[in-house]
């Protein structure tokens, strides 16, 4: 499981860069955007391989930015929070009350959509981000800026006020 996780989460990005960098160098530079996760900076119990893999992507991004910067290649990564994809939407359609509860964990009181991530990647690849490299951009509705103790209290308050059972 560990090797398989590292192959998908880390090695695939390494191999992508390995083959892209010579092409980018020969064309005068460019941009690489790796996909990490808020799980690269906030840990969840029982998810060792995933959390380690996403943390590794952040470190690898910073190292690649350092190594490839002289070739005019910028390397950044995006750290998505919870994004409602088509597959996730099916689950939330079956339990909209749980989705509303989940939204309360984000300062913006919403979860992300695919376009939120696409827009961040487009920005990081654009000339508007020409002086940004080695950055881990959290696209998470503010999830990672919250003090967890306060979030826990707010969650308990919401559950109590809405007769919500966590089962």
Catalytic machinery residues: 50
Residues in a beta bridge with 137: 78
Quote the radius of gyration of the chain (alpha carbons, Å): 18
């Amino acid at each position: 499981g560990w090797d398989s996780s590292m192959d998908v989460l880390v090695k695939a990005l390494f191999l992508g860069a390995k083959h892209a960098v010579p092409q980018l160098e020969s064309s005068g530079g460019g941009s690489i955007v790796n996909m990490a996760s808020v799980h690269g900076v906030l840990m969840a119990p029982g998810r060792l391989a995933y959390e380690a893999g996403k943390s590794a992507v952040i470190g690898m991004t910073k190292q690649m930015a350092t190594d490839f910067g002289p070739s005019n290649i910028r390397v950044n990564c995006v750290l998505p929070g919870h994004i409602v994809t088509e597959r996730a939407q099916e689950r939330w359609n079956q339990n909209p009350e749980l989705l509303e509860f989940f939204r309360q964990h984000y300062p913006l009181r919403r979860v992300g959509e695919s376009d939120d991530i696409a827009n961040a990647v487009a920005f990081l690849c654009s000339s508007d981000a020409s002086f940004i490299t080695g950055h881990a951009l959290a696209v998470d509705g503010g999830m990672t800026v919250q003090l967890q103790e306060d979030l826990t209290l707010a969650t308990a308050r919401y559950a109590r006020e809405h007769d919500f059972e966590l089962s």
